[in-house]
Amino acid sequence: MVKQSVLGLMLVFSISIHLSAQTKTMNIAGVNRTYIVHAPSGLNNPPLVFNIHGYNMDAQSEQSYTQMDKVADREKFIVVYPSAINKSWDLSGANDFNFILAIIDTVDKQYKIDKSRIYSCGFSQGGFMTFQLACRYSEIFAAIAPTSGNLSGNCTLKRPMSMRLTFGTNEGFSGGTAAFMQNVTKWIKLCNCPETPVVTSPYPSTNSRSLVTRLYYGPCDGGTEVIADSVRTGGHEWPMNTNDRINNSEETWAFLKKFSLKDGVAVNNQLIPSTAKVISATYSAGIIHLQGIEEQTPVQIVDTKGRLVANSIVNQSQISLKDMAQGIFFLRLRNDGSTPLTMKLLIN
């Protein structure tokens, strides 16, 4: 009886895995193409994330390597892992891009996805592919997060798009740190971002052992952001060890989920419902008066070039600052300890 019960549990577990992650096939230009769809239970108008493998990999290896299914199960979004022909993406031809577009249509027919929240991430050559998708289809993809991949050739965006790039400083591929930072420079120009980043090192600041440095450029046009996460001494990898790195799948989703193609009143590109409490900042006689911000909230004040002007703490709904110059400034904070906010402040 015990053996039968264990076997029954194994069968149920196997069936549940099969139902949430399915390998599918479609024909593109006369060639059968395969991809994996991981669709958690309880979906309602879900976002869609493409997770694109590197050279000499496939959908299955990317799924296993990045472990993004765990994040999708908790956050209720669909992950698609497409497979390239002969384990290599054709970045110059049309068929691979038509394959991705066809997957979007097919998945939408079955799951009724939120088409304003389609994203792409990828590792190595999958990062190259992610950049190309953004450059070709910025009206379709809301944001991207390549890892260890470069932006090749020219890029024109139909609209500003948020981008997060992750790389190791000791990569033996893709041109190293200089090439990756060239990608960042190109992207901040495309999105009209401040040229000087806000630096967090180590990132996260709560982990003194972390080898990760985060460069934040923003806010950029349209409320977009550009982030570069570099792993000191890191190789060609999708970092997952949170002892001295980050869980890249968690960080990727935390970044992507903030952005949508929908228009609306936004703080850091997150739509604010009309029922939300009012959040405001006004300046008078050396005092920034804040409404809707919790006490003891840390605040960064930066200028339009992204340069840090001051660090402060909210005390009695205000921040005391002396000798502030006239101009436009941005207040960056995390209200209630988790929700990232950026507010514009005019001093005249």
Position 331 scores a pLDDT of 79
Position 174 scores a pLDDT of 58
Q: Which residues contact 157 (CB under 8 A, 6 or more apart)?
A: 134, 135, 138, 190, 191
Closest CA to 204 of 172, 178, 227: 227
For domain 20-270, which CATH number applies: 1.10.3720.10, 3.30.1330.10, 3.40.50.1820, 1.10.540.10? 3.40.50.1820
Closest CA to 200 of 218, 220, 179, 222: 218
- What SS3 class is residue 8? helix
Tokens at 32, concatenated: 């059968």
Q: What are phi and psi of 14, to 5 degrees?
A: -60, -40
Position 334 scores a pLDDT of 61
| CA–CA distance, 68 with 247 (Å, rounded to integer) | 10
Position 335 scores a pLDDT of 56
Is 20-270's fold the same as 277-347's?
Answer: no
pLDDT values of the chain reduced to their tens digit, one per residue, 348 residues: 434 444 344 334 334 444 567 999 999 999 999 999 999 999 999 999 999 999 999 999 999 999 999 999 999 999 999 999 999 999 888 899 999 999 999 999 999 999 999 999 999 999 999 999 999 999 999 999 999 999 988 999 999 999 999 999 999 765 789 999 999 999 999 999 999 999 999 999 899 999 999 999 988 988 899 999 999 999 999 999 999 999 999 999 999 999 999 843 233 334 433 334 456 677 777 787 777 777 777 777 877 766 777 777 776 677 777 777 777 777 777 655 455 677 777 776
Going from N- to C-terminal start, the domains of the chain cover 20-270, 277-347
Give the Å distances, CA to CA, from 227 to 28, 192, 213, 223.
35, 14, 10, 13
DSSP state of 42: S
Find the distance separating the first CA and the last CA of the chain, reported in whole Å.
80
Read off the pTM: 0.74
List residues bridging with 346 in a β-sheet. Answer: 328
Domain 277-347 has CATH 3.40.47.40: no
Instruction: Determine contact, residues 147/165, Cβ cutoff 8 Å.
Output: yes
- What SS3 class is residue 121? strand
Q: What are phi and psi of 166, to 5 degrees?
A: -115, 135
Query: What is the secondary structure of 235-300 as a DSSP string?
Result: -SS----TTTS--HHHHHHHHHTT--S--S-EETTEE--TTSPP-EEEEETTEEEEES--TT-EEE
Query: What is the secondary structure of 156-193 as a DSSP string?
Result: --SS--EEEEEEETT-SSTTHHHHHHHHHHHHHHHTT-
